[in-house]
Amino acid sequence: MKFLDLAKVYIRSGAGGGGCVSFRREKYIEYGGPDGGDGGGGGTVWAEAVDGLNTLIDFRYQQHFFAKNGQPGMGKQRTGKDGDDIVLRVPVGTEILDEDQETVIADMTELGQRVQLARGGNGGWGNLHFKSATNQAPRRSNPGQDGVERTLWLRLKLIADVGLLGLPNAGKSTFLAATSNARPKIADYPFTTLHPNLGVVGVDNTEFVVADIPGLIEGAHDGRGLGHRFLGHVERCAVLLHLIDGTSETITEDYQTIIGELEAYGGELADRPRITVLNKVDALDEEELASALKELTKACGGNVVMPMSGVAQTNTVEVLRALRAEIDDDRVRQKPAEEQAPWQP
């Protein structure tokens, strides 16, 4: 299934049915009077966050969503049938934006959340509504109210507990593959990952979700490389895992590039808890490792830097435990008892 995190849709609510002008006509009833019924209301367009979806690919093949119109009123005081509603089923974490792509109409962050996007038009009154003591045979009715037509953008921001950050080929996909059942594409060239991947990792009988974000380059907040749209996927993460390629000759510059992009993106992204990891330490000897750690620690302002190798799975468990410590208990899931590791004396 292709990953799609941005989609444009056209919606229109149903128009209300028109009121009816009718008079009772029966044998032996001389003054039947008006009996025109009201029109039915138009259908409403809703958005609902549902389970089992993690992409907007469904909206690639259908962009138009029109609710049904209300049925006109009829004689014998019969009200027209209301138009059927239509529901846009979106993944949890979807933002619904106006046509300008800036105004947020709704943020679907909870399962089962339901938001009204376009209200159906009211049905018109039939001539029975206009009957009075001075106007006992009204010949007027109201037309139904028009529906609402609008263009919207759907933007998906993944709901993950941990977001992986780093330059292309920093080892993010390798780390995800080594710690979860996810199978992202791994290769020795930049921009191997072209769309975010999710993986469930486990440590100490708990599980949490990790998002592998495509590699960022300088200017990503302005749309360079794979663009700033992927930075939105880490906005909802509880903690960020920043991977630095230990074999790079520009470790300090690599670190500053990502930090600069986080700060330029805005919001609270730069202030989010962050674990800094020096990756690919299996390719370094002791002297090179000590030098790289010293350089990166200085660039981090003295904060702790964890050495790791995703390929050799060196210190991956320690990194997972450090991430788990930054995640609130209500966001993690306890492993079922049958999946937990047996007790060791």
Q: Which residues are annotated as a binding site for Mg(2+)?
A: 173, 193
Q: How far is it, in rounded angstroms, from Cα 307 to Cα 275?
A: 11
Contact 161, 179 (CB under 8 A): no
Residues forming a β-bridge with 200: 209
Q: What angle do CA 126, 129, 131 make, to 5 degrees?
A: 115
Residues forming a β-bridge with 11: 65, 150
- Binding site residue list: 166-173, 191-195, 212-215, 279-282, 309-311
Please give the DSSP secondary-structure letter assigned to residue 180: B
For residue 182, what are the CA distances in angstroms to 126, 173, 305, 339? 61, 9, 26, 18
* Closest CA relative to residue 43, chosen from 115, 123, 104, 114: 123
Contact 138, 82 (CB under 8 A): no
- Binding site residue list for GTP: 166-173, 191-195, 212-215, 279-282, 309-311
